[in-house]
Amino acid sequence: MLRCDAAVDMLLDAHDGTLSSQGRQALKGHLSQCPSCTAFQRSYEHSITLTAQALAVKLPTQVSARIYTGMTQRFRRECAQSPRTDGGSRSC
Ligand SMILES: [Zn+2]
């Protein structure tokens, strides 16, 4: 299974439509089994939508990339600090 950090790295390309079909399949498979990354994806997409609506324009790629970078840093920080209940190894 795709690791969380790799899945999160693919979300920006998926959002921009530049992710390969193989990458989309891998991401889709990961998201179907990972609640943390699914929550992150929803939060990211929601943030992009709200920001675009607030500006009433399509966000420049640089702006969406900066939002993505800030959110991924937060995701990784929170993921690394959260305890695992299943005894597995952390993948973020
Ligand atoms: Zn994940």
Distance 54 CA to ligand 1 centre (A): 29
Q: Assign residue 40 a region (left: φ > 0; alpha: ψ between -120 and 50; beta: otherwise).
A: alpha
The token pair at 17 is 């439509």
Alpha-carbon dihedral angle through residues 16, 18, 19, 22, given to the nearest 10 degrees: 140
40-90 pLDDT tens trace: 999 988 988 888 788 776 677 888 888 889 888 988 888 888 776 666 655
Distance 57 CA to ligand 1 centre (A): 31
What confidence score (pLDDT) does residue 16 get? 85
Distance 47 CA to ligand 1 centre (A): 19
Distance 90 CA to ligand 1 centre (A): 10
Phi and psi at 82, nearest 5°, equal -85, 140
pTM for the predicted model, two decimal places: 0.63
6-38 pLDDT tens trace: 999 999 899 889 999 999 999 999 999 999 999
Residues with Cβ–ion distance below 5 A, ligand 1: 4, 7, 34, 37
The DSSP letter of residue 82 is: S
What confidence score (pLDDT) does residue 84 get? 65
